[in-house]
């Protein structure tokens, strides 16, 4: 009889891998899955994937969001995005939703004790200035 091995997640990258495998594959539509994996691969993994979960707090995530707004967007020939464009507030919102849900799942799985990004809320999309002073369309 084989035993079930539960992997220990030390870094954000470890947690995201577990999250996509256990939650994403079962709960996301194909387009959502592809979009979320791209966000992880292009923006989360390269910037903060190696950070230990014990080092992540709300302040850390806030700085990450600010850094994202100063990061050039990954080129996407299908959408026509150019490398000179910066990540939009809309993309940061999508990354926020993804991370928030990831941390909420980690709590349910008893991997972490508190929600790290729960208090990071964005204003609704109304042609107002967003949380980071960027014009939202």
pLDDT band at 120 (very low <50, low <70, confident <90, very high): very low
- CB–CB of 98/39 below 8 Å? yes
The sign of the CA dihedral 45, 99, 12, 48 is: positive
Mean pLDDT of the chain: 80
d(CA 16, CA 50): 11
pLDDT at 94: 96
86: pLDDT strictly greater than 60: yes
**Does the pLDDT value for residue 128 go beyond 80?**
no
pTM (predicted TM-score): 0.76
Tokens standing for 56? Answer: 């992540």
Q: What is the pLDDT of residues 26-54, one digit of tens each?
A: 999 999 999 999 999 999 999 999 999 98
136 pLDDT above the threshold of 90: no
What is the percentage of the chain residues whose pLDDT exceeds 70? 70
Average pLDDT over every residue of 109-118: 64
Contact between residue 72 and residue 86 where contact means Cβ atoms under 8 Å apart: yes
How would residue 133 be classed by pLDDT, with cut points 50, 70 and 90?
Answer: very low
């Amino acid at each position: 009889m084989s035993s079930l091995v539960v992997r220990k997640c030390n870094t954000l990258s470890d947690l995201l891998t577990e999250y996509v495998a256990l939650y994403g594959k079962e709960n996301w539509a194909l387009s959502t899955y592809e979009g979320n994996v791209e966000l992880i691969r292009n923006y989360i993994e390269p910037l903060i994937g190696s950070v230990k979960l014990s080092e992540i707090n709300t302040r850390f995530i806030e700085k990450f969001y600010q850094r994202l707004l100063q990061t050039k967007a990954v080129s996407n020939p299908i959408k026509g995005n150019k490398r000179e464009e910066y990540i939009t507030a809309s993309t940061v919102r999508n990354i926020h939703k993804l991370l928030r849900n990831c941390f909420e799942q980690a709590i349910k799985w008893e991997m972490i004790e508190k929600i790290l990004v729960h208090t990071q809320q964005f204003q609704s999309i109304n042609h107002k200035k967003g949380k980071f002073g960027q014009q939202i369309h």
